[in-house]
Structure 1
Amino acid sequence: MPDRLERYELTYRALAAELATELATVGFISQGSVVSRYTSCGKSGCRCQGDPPQRHGPYYQWSRAVAGKTVSRRLTGAEAELYRGWIANRRRIEQLIAQMEQISTTAGELLLRQAAPERPARPAKS
């Protein structure tokens, strides 16, 4: 078990170092997602009503949850690229933290088993 625990410790330390490097170099972060949409306007004779239809767009939209409600904002193409980068930065940091949490949970279970006193066997019920 000590070998496994040492491996978990080494992996955890490597992830922590990677996280520290990431935090030192990462740009802004943002939650949410960016989508591009194409729409039809409904005006007869418009290209979006043709055969085949040529919809208007792309229109970019950034959405995120605020206090349990979805909030959206329209963006330009350049703004959409910025937000995509910020969202990717946040996801990378969250991924590293999730890996650290997983290793901590597994290593913690090993440590708890090592620290727990031997439990006497329960007497059989008659």
Structure 2
Amino acid sequence: MENIFDDLNGKKENILQQIRELGDFRQGSLSPRYRKCGKPYCHCAKEGSKGHGPLWMVTRSVKGKTKSKAIPKGKVETTFKQIETFHRFQNLVHEYIETNIKICDIQLDQDRQASKEAEKKG
């Protein structure tokens, strides 16, 4: 049984190390936006035109409200990588939680087993 605890605790430490090595990340989704300026003779006024753009925006929800931030053209790739890193962070946190739940379940089962054995002895 100690071997299982050692393995699971080792896994937790490994996950924490991976989190420490992630680097910068940001939550949200990155999407291009196009807009029309409203000038009747501009190319964007023509039927079928997407409009001016793309203007890249990163959007996320904070306390139930949508927050958006414009991303300069030169930072789109960096921002995309930061969002990918955030998804990796989320996966690692989920894995850490699941590993910890396994440890807690094993401890609970051991406590139950010890109680049953104590009752048998009387």
Q: Tell me if TM exceeds 0.5.
A: yes
**Structure 1 residue 11: Cα displacement:** 5.4
Q: Distance in 1 between matches of 2:15 and 2:98?
A: 16
Structure 1 residues without counterparts, runs of 5 or longer: 121-126
Q: Distance in 2 between matches of 1:51 and 1:72?
A: 28
Identify which of 111, 114, 121 aligns with 1:115. Answer: 111
Q: Distance in 1 between matches of 2:18 and 2:102?
A: 24
More helix by share: 2
Q: Does 1:28 align with 2:27?
A: no
Q: What letter corresponds to residue 17 of structure 2 in structure 1?
A: A
C-alpha RMSD of matched pairs (Å): 3.0
Q: What letter corresponds to residue 86 of structure 1 in structure 2?
A: Q
Q: Distance in 2 between matches of 1:52 and 1:96?
A: 44
Q: Does 1:93 align with 2:71?
A: no
Give identity over the alignment, percent. 23
- TM-score, with length taken from structure 1: 0.68
Structure 2 residues without counterparts, runs of 5 or longer: none
Q: What letter corresponds to residue 40 of structure 1 in structure 2?
A: K
Identify which of 45, 60, 64 aligns with 2:60. Answer: 64
**Structure 1 residue 33: Cα displacement:** 2.4
Deviations 1:103-126 (A, max 9, x none): 2213311220121223x8xxxxxx
**Structure 1 residue 58: Cα displacement:** 0.7
